[in-house]
Structure 1
């Protein structure tokens, strides 16, 4: 019997990456071979993102690409776009099955039950979901850094954001399952584990057992041979003195926090429905840096939110510079159907959004280089991830890349045996927003 082939592609966040790895594992367990998305396959899975209209468009393009590669294949669509607009997804030519957030564990059965020409919609109202969907996420074949999802859902309902509607209310993975997952990954040889979630800082908040994020992290820190533990995005209000005290104790906790800012103007923050102002954010970063020297603080900033004028944008640029972030993720506001901001007055011209985006990206580039420059001539510990197809100037062959614990990318010459290992790298030069060096 010929082994069936499945191909997956993923758009969006680290949570989506984790979920795609879990879906791959579900198919492997049923005897499928996982192949590249551009290869001939029997099944194509598109794990979508709907944070912006660009994400929706890319999702539709990938669906059509799969249908062109093999018109006879089963095409399944999951992810946030599938959850929030399943009927719209079904209208895209080639779609056989739409899989909502509560049915991902059943995806193999849904795919194998497809009869071409008869579409299937397995999507429920996520607002009523109260359980954390367990997926087999401890395989991560071929990867060096492992993602582990510990939390699902968000109840912040920021004015611009579709995610609470796509992901539903807060649900947390049972602490014993998180501990087991981390142990499995450590035993599999992973040196760095990234804890992910939609609202990671709200871990355990909906439960009455008293196990919040800090207590969970205290338990994880005691796992033998856990080298690095990284937290994904945390809301400013979720970073407590207790969390900082724990992180300041050192390994296994990475000296890195991703804290979404969104805007550096208080009027815009208020209209967005964010739950802090710039004074709160400024004081928070001062506390973090006081507790954790050399901490890398990365952020998200949105441009072109309705009502954002030139002065609001100038305030944001000035605040970003003042905060000295180690990296910026800049994105343009995109109206999402069903969110309050989609109907706000003062929608910003796309050309203005593009101009502001380019300006802020340039600021972010300078800040990242400034942060990286502190390591010139020093030795840093780097987790070796993968070979680089197109090496930066100054390096020619056998070039690998990896990350420091405070999230600076480093390029260096190495052998394949270093992959997945921690290496001491003497830094010799800047390289874009990262660094170059040599293993010592």
Structure 2
């Protein structure tokens, strides 16, 4: 029997990327052939994103692109946009199946069920054409004549448990992102994700350790622990296992030489947390602390649960326990009501903290959030101007931080070979995630950890 071809396209965050790879490996294990998205396939799976209106639009565009490439293919809308706009997508003629969050683990079974129903529907149509006398309208979910797609959605606000997905390898050959947590209870005023992902749910510790061990056996030396709200790991349970305990357990897995953390909520950085992390040699001194604004008034409108003073204290703590750690962050410019004075406060705060890298986002009005209904929406041209100011500040901060390491010896995990101006190089990252490039020689450096003078 000829293998069915399935193509995947991922939109959005590292959690989505992890889930896409897990779905790929799941279908491959069930006999599907994984093929590139731009080519012909029997099934197209788009793991959608809904973090902004632009993400929604990109999700719709990719679904329509898939159907255009092969009108006879089964097009699956999965993930966050599918969860948030399931009813809308069910009526989209480009979509055959809608799979929301907490149902991606069932993808293989859902495809099999859909194919069986569609085959039955075609048999029914043939019998009618042959004059079998059946005149009733076919109501099977897989019928191509139906106007609505087959929907598989769960109320994630009351999701009973963590959705178990796993991987044994990743698209990156040296670093593996591992999803350990899902959902968010924060309800920031600009964010739709708690509605699309639901409340916090954590992966079982034993399951995480089993996956990390498998990845280590397959040659991965660095793992990145990630989640929708990583700092909430274990908080919904009463077993005494939180993020710190998870990190310490992963640290004991043989073969793993580096542990990196995804985005952290500032409040998780306590004296105990910083001290215990500093005692773990595999921990990379690279901490991404979500900020969003350097102005207390703006933070309050955003429903962020800390002040700039509290945030700064967390940065000081990390710098006390780690030597020149890389502190990175996210900032939104042009949030509703952000005045020139408030923006100036954000600039001053970023100058004060001196982040290694700041990811800058222009506020995007997101339907269904409190911020979308706020007064004093900031014009796009002002958002653009403020974004440029922070981009320039970010360049200066990055240069200053990297200058600290000039002439120092650093451990580099080399990841890939690249070509520039006709010459071959190997590139990789230090524990602080500083990019390092060296001329290629006779030795293959991929997935090797080497000491280098920066």
Per the shorter chain, which TM-score range?
Answer: over 0.9
1:300 aligned onto 2:327: no
Contact 2:251-2:280 at 8 Å conserved across structures: no
Provide the residue aligned with 2:59 in structure 1.
Answer: 59
User: Alpha-carbon deviations, 1:346-378, whole Å to 9, x = none?
Assistant: 111112112211221221122112211222233
What does 1:384-403 align with in structure 2 at a 5 Å threshold? 384-388=414-418, 391=420, 396-403=422-429
Provide the residue aligned with 2:189 in structure 1.
Answer: 159
2-structure distance, mates of 1:98, 1:354: 36
1:341 aligned onto 2:368: no
Matched residue pairs, number? 423
1-structure distance, mates of 2:93, 2:234: 41
Provide the residue aligned with 1:42 in structure 2.
Answer: 42
Aligned-pair CA distance for 1:411: 2.0
Misfit runs of 4+, over 6 Å:
none
Provide the residue aligned with 2:73 in structure 1.
Answer: 73
What does 1:238-253 align with in structure 2 at a 5 Å threshold? 238-253=268-283
Provide the residue aligned with 1:380 in structure 2.
Answer: 410
Change (3 A) 1:396 1:366: farther
Change (3 A) 1:190 1:117: farther
Aligned-pair CA distance for 1:35: 1.8
Contact 2:97-2:151 at 8 Å conserved across structures: yes
Unaligned 5+ residue runs, structure 2?
Answer: 119-143
Q: CA RMSD in A?
A: 1.7
Contact 2:190-2:366 at 8 Å conserved across structures: yes
Aligned-pair CA distance for 1:425: 3.0
Provide the residue aligned with 2:320 in structure 1.
Answer: 290
1-structure distance, mates of 2:388, 2:171: 36
Provide the residue aligned with 2:347 in structure 1.
Answer: 317
Secondary structure of the residue that 1:418 maps to in structure 2? Answer: coil
**Bigger Cα displacement from structure 2, 129-138 vs 412-421:** 412-421
User: Alpha-carbon deviations, 1:189-212, whole Å to 9, x = none?
Assistant: 101000011111111111011111
User: Alpha-carbon deviations, 1:31-59, whole Å to 9, x = none?
Assistant: 11212211221111111111111111111
Of the three residues 167, 174, 187, the one matched with 2:217 is 187
Unaligned 5+ residue runs, structure 1?
Answer: 428-440
User: Which one has a bigger Cα radius of gyration?
Assistant: 2
Q: TM-score under structure 1 normalisation?
A: 0.92
Provide the residue aligned with 1:404 in structure 2.
Answer: 430
Aligned-pair CA distance for 1:117: 4.2
Secondary structure of the residue that 1:252 maps to in structure 2? Answer: coil
Aligned-pair CA distance for 1:399: 2.1
Aligned-pair CA distance for 1:91: 4.2
